[in-house]
A = this chain, B = another copy of it.
Amino acid sequence: MKQSIGAKTLLYPHPVLIVCTYDAAGTPDAMTAAWGGICSSDPPSVAVSVQKARKTYENLMARSAFTVCIPPARYVAEADYFGIESGRNADKIRAAGLTAVQSDVVDAPYIAEFPVVLECRVSQTVEIGIHTQFIGEIVDVKVDGSVLGSDGKPNVEKIAPFIYDSAARTYRAVGSEIARAFSAGLALKR
């Protein structure tokens, strides 16, 4: 029997996306966003929602570019830190002991230690209540050679991404394979 728990932003899984931008002075900044995801296949696009009070909002409006970095589980403390500190108070990437590298295709930095990077140009902004959704066209994706599998594709076990559980306020690893996509449901198709 279902029961109402009210209008909440509950969803499984939320991603943990590290949005990297430059500020007006050229200092790299990083912010953790769980409100986001892929929003179009062509042009390949990713959406991230940011509140206006955030420094990242200013940076995005000024530079119209960002990267989305996928943090591996061994950097969960750093990823959490990027969500609880403001770039107004600290040079966050440096304070976390990580390395900002300038993207070669967009006006934004990425974090060298994070294995998967989406390099994005802001294509539109959408006002949704207290958040502004920045839609980024994915211009290129960079991955570490070390996280590619023997088939040449990004390998999720080598990447070791994690998810955010907003109900429990915890981060969780990605678990084992349970089925093949576009295949598991074939038996139900007439």
Residue positions of A touching B, CB distance < 8 A: 1-15, 17, 34-47, 49, 68, 70, 73, 76-85, 90, 95-96, 112, 116-118, 123-124, 126, 128-131, 133, 135, 137-145, 153-156, 159, 161-165, 167-190
Contact = CB atoms under 8 A, between A and B. Distances in A.
A91 to B, nearest CB: 11
B13 A38 contact: no
A2 B144 contact: yes
B130 A41 contact: yes
A37 B12 contact: no
Given A39-B128, A131-B39, A174 B12 contact: yes
Given A1-B144, A140-B4, A171-B178, A83 B12 contact: no
Contact of A184 (B5, B49, B80, B135): B80
A182 B156 contact: no
A177 to B, nearest CB: 5
A3 B145 contact: yes
| In the complex, the 4 A-B pairs of residues with the closest C-beta atoms, listed nearest first | A81-B185, A80-B185, A173-B175, A12-B161
